[in-house]
Amino acid sequence: MGGHAQPVSCLCISGPWLFSADFGGTIKVWSLAQGSLAQTLEKAHSDARVPAITHLLVCDSHLVSAALDGRLKVWTPVEGGAGAGAVVAETPAFVWPELEAVQQGKRGGRGAPPPLAGILAVQGVTDPEGKALLAVSFNGEKCVRLFEWPTFNDRGTFAEVVNARGMAAIGQFFVAGDERGKIKVWRYKAAAQSRAADASVGAF
């Protein structure tokens, strides 16, 4: 079957495809209909001592991968899918943070820490105006950062959550669980009031 050589770290299903990733930074694409391997992206993330891919998700038909190398990579679909020899392009269409920002010691986001702290988790979110966001948790931070999709413009933070590894969102609510065993719940303000999120409305 051509399985992974390293422990599998995350999975994502989109339409007829299963995407899997491992601790070595490799992504594999599987056909659910045929039960077979369709594509392998060797060392999709490889710029860190531990290049483990921590999250996969699909946004607007694009595969987004996040890893402990501190990068988010966006992979475009190939027209024709596996029939064209590949499901996604062999090289990412976009890498965040961009090289120029890394060289300047910048990563974006409010009060940004040193560049390229490992990414622990990513969650797709929709704000009250219907705009798509990515909620991103970085290793060593006490917040979850929000970025607009697909521009990656800064949209602020959800504060007082440490190394969040579990996140979920539905409607106006966003939930994150952190390494202290805490679960925090936030609720967005109405779109007419603010684009920001309310202070947390609960914690466990």
Q: Does pLDDT of 114 surpass 90? A: no
Provide the total of helices (H) and of strands (E) in the chain, helices listed first: 1, 16
- Residue 61, both tokens: 């038909």
| Residue-level pLDDT at 156 | 94
pLDDT-based confidence at residue 1 (cuts at 50, 70, 90) = low
SS3 97: coil
First to last CA, the chain: 43
Q: Does pLDDT of 12 surpass 80? A: yes
How far is 5 from 41, CA to CA, in rounded Å? 13
Residues 74-89 have pLDDT tens digits of 999 998 766 667 999 9
How far is 5 from 36, CA to CA, in rounded Å? 16
Of the ranges 111-120, 171-180, 189-198, the best mean pLDDT one:
171-180
Show the DSSP H helices in the chain as ranges.
99-103
CATH node for 1-96: 2.40.10.480
| Architecture, CATH, for domain 120-204 | Beta Barrel (2.40)
How far is 125 from 119, CA to CA, in rounded Å? 17
Residues 130-166 have pLDDT tens digits of 999 999 999 999 999 999 999 999 999 999 999 999 9
In the chain, the DSSP E strands lie at 8-14, 17-22, 27-31, 36-41, 53-59, 62-67, 72-75, 94-96, 119-126, 132-138, 143-148, 154-159, 166-170, 173-177, 183-187, 202-203
How far is 42 from 90, CA to CA, in rounded Å? 9
| Residue-level pLDDT at 97 | 92
- Least confident among 10-19, 61-70, 76-85, 192-201: 192-201
| Residue-level pLDDT at 139 | 96
Computed over every residue of the chain, the mean pLDDT equals: 87
Beta pairing partners, 195: none
Query: Mean per-residue pLDDT for 66-75?
Result: 96
Q: Does pLDDT of 110 surpass 60? A: no
Q: Does pLDDT of 198 surpass 50? A: yes
| Percentage of the chain modeled with pLDDT above 90 | 72
**Numbered ranges of CATH 2.40.10.480 in the chain:** 1-96
Alpha carbon distances (Å) from 81 to 65, 74, 156 = 19, 17, 36
